[in-house]
Amino acid sequence: MSSGDRAITDADTLVSVLSGTIPDERVLEAVRSVPRPAFVPPELRAEAWHNVALPIGGGQTISQPLVVARMLELLRLRGDELVLDIGTGSGYHAALLARLARRVISIERRPELSRKAAASLAAAGIDNVELVIGDGSLGLAKRAPFDAINVAAASDLEALRALGGQLAAGGRLVAPLAEDASHPDLQRLVVLRAHPRGLTIWRCEPVRFVPLVSDARGPREPPEPPTA
Give 157-198 pLDDT, tens digit per residue: 999 999 999 999 999 999 999 977 677 778 999 999 999 889
SS3 73: helix
Other CB atoms closer than 10 Å to residue 41's CB: what's the count? 14
In a domain, 156, yes or no: yes
In a domain, 17, yes or no: no
84 beta partners: 105, 149
Residue 226's pLDDT band, with cuts at 50, 70 and 90, is very low
Max Cα distance, the chain (Å): 51
Residue 218's pLDDT band, with cuts at 50, 70 and 90, is very low
SS3 84: strand
Prediction pTM value:
0.89
Give 173-184 pLDDT, tens digit per residue: 999 999 776 777
139 beta partners: none
- What is the number of domains present in the chain? 1
Active site (annotated) includes residue 120 = no
In a domain, 158, yes or no: yes
Per-residue pLDDT, 163: 97
In a domain, 221, yes or no: no
In a domain, 167, yes or no: yes
In a domain, 50, yes or no: no
- For residue 125, give the CATH number of its domain: 3.40.50.150
Per-residue pLDDT, 146: 98
The catalytic residue among 63, 90, 114, 155 is 63
- Helix or strand run (H / E) with residue 150: strand 146-151
Residue 87: domain span: 64-207
The answer to whether residue 139 scores a pLDDT higher than 90 is yes
CA angle 48–56–103, rounded 5-degree value:
80
Side-chain-side CA neighbours of 1 within 13 Å: the count stands at 28
CA angle 93–99–104, rounded 5-degree value:
65
In a domain, 102, yes or no: yes
Other CB atoms closer than 10 Å to residue 35's CB: what's the count? 17
Report cis status (omega within 30 of 0) of the bond before 145.
yes
202 beta partners: 191
Q: Among positive and negative, which fits the CA dihedral 155, 158, 163, 169? A: positive
Interval 217-223 mean pLDDT: 47
Per-residue pLDDT, 5: 46
In a domain, 58, yes or no: no
